Structure 1
Amino acid sequence: MKTIITFGTFDVFHVGHVNILQRAASLGDTLIVGVSTDQLNYNKKGRNPIYNQLDRMKIINSLRYVNLCFLEESLEKKEEYIRKYDADVLVMGDDWKGKFDHLSNLCEVVYLERTPSVSTTEIIEVISSAT
């Protein structure tokens, strides 16, 4: 049994989110997803997410290839989460490339390419400018 863990905000859910979660799930038997809390998202991006953390978790939990979803409270707790869920592989988008290599002593670290031309920030900007 190979356990995969990944993290994200998953706000304004889109095909890029689906693609990375499907690809992460294909690397093992169990996919565990940490969803950033509203506070973490604000600290990281300087804005609140469009959808609150419970709604975002409900969306992620509804996906058939996600086995477990939990709230990620801090970027600095990745090691703690990897140990807690006994993850064999940490999967992150390639926009984080190199930032979690220090965790390779705990598990394999894989950076997956993001879906081109799809970003939550860009979607929000397009919607905002249209109003």
Structure 2
Amino acid sequence: MELIKKSILTELYLSGITGKSHIDNLTKKGFTQKLIDLEIDELIKNKLVKEDRSALTELGRSSLRVVLAGGVFDIIHPGHIYTLNAAKSLGDVLIVVVATDNTALKMKKRQPLHSKEQRQELVDSLVMVDLCLIGQEDDIFKTVNLVKPQIIALGYDQVHQEKFIIDGCKKIQLDAKVARLQSPIPESSSSKIQKEYGESIHGI
């Protein structure tokens, strides 16, 4: 599929989650309004975009392979970059969910250095990420159901979550595959970096 058509489908899909204008995002990427209108006309003809021009049809949505990944992402390190690049390579659209501050505290047994909003902004700025969302504490599957990914990518350090994710997807009747990603730098972690940084500061 041509880049412009894939970009339009992606932005229409994302606008359904964020409520933001797909036209604004497409023009920021350098596409002219005239070109966008012509391409949307063709996508409507091919039954990928609805007649109202603001949403995907079921066929249009199924033509996009959406990958969902999650984590704390308190300090972005090479392991994160490799893992997110690997996740993006599995599909067309990569959506990342960052844990809330309370969830991060439970997972890492320490207060995160950055707030959930700061972590969202950091992850959103990464080139391979199409959208970053803040997760929900009460039920992570609310976000999963909103995104409706075809693939859920788990990092090398999220082994325990695989059955939990598979069972949760069954409950919301979502047919998503779970992909296990490997990091080439498994010793990289935000906690380790923070610990070493703290020790180096004390040693000065």
Q: TM-score, normalised by structure 1?
A: 0.89
Q: Give the match for residue 46 of structure 1.
A: 109
Q: Give the match for residue 113 of structure 1.
A: 182
Determine the C-alpha separation between the residues in 1 that align with 2:146 and 2:133: 12
Determine the C-alpha separation between the residues in 1 that align with 2:102 and 2:164: 25
The reply on whether 1:99 has 2:161 as its aligned counterpart is yes
Higher relative contact order (Cα pairs below 8 Å, separated by 6+ residues): 1
Q: Percent identity?
A: 27
Determine the C-alpha separation between the residues in 1 that align with 2:161 and 2:107: 15
Determine the C-alpha separation between the residues in 1 that align with 2:140 and 2:162: 9
SS of 2:139's partner is helix
Kept after mapping to 2: 8 A contact 1:101/1:109:
no
Aligned length: 130
SS of 1:91's partner is strand
Q: Give the match for residue 65 of structure 1.
A: 128
Larger CA Rg, structure 1 vs 2: 2
C-alpha change, 1:118 and 1:102, in structure 2 (3 Å) is closer
Q: Give the match for residue 36 of structure 1.
A: 99
Name the aligned partner's letter for residue 10 of structure 1: F
Displacement of 1:49: 0.7
SS of 1:118's partner is coil
Q: What do the CA deviations read for 1:87-109 (whole angstroms, capped 9, x no partner)?
A: 10000112222522354443000
Higher percent of residues as helix:
2
Gapped runs of 5+ residues in structure 1? none
SS of 1:47's partner is coil
Q: Which of 143, 147, 161 matches 1:85?
A: 147
Determine the C-alpha separation between the residues in 2 that align with 1:102 and 1:116: 22
Q: TM-score, normalised by structure 2?
A: 0.59
Determine the C-alpha separation between the residues in 1 that align with 2:145 and 2:111: 29
Displacement of 1:22: 0.7
Q: Give the match for residue 196 of structure 2.
A: 126
Determine the C-alpha separation between the residues in 2 that align with 1:116 and 1:36: 20
- Shifted more, 112-121 versus 94-103: the winner is 94-103
RMSD: 1.7
Gapped runs of 5+ residues in structure 2? 1-63
Higher percent of residues as strand:
1
SS of 2:69's partner is strand
Name the aligned partner's letter for residue 148 of structure 2: D
Determine the C-alpha separation between the residues in 2 that align with 1:103 and 1:8: 14
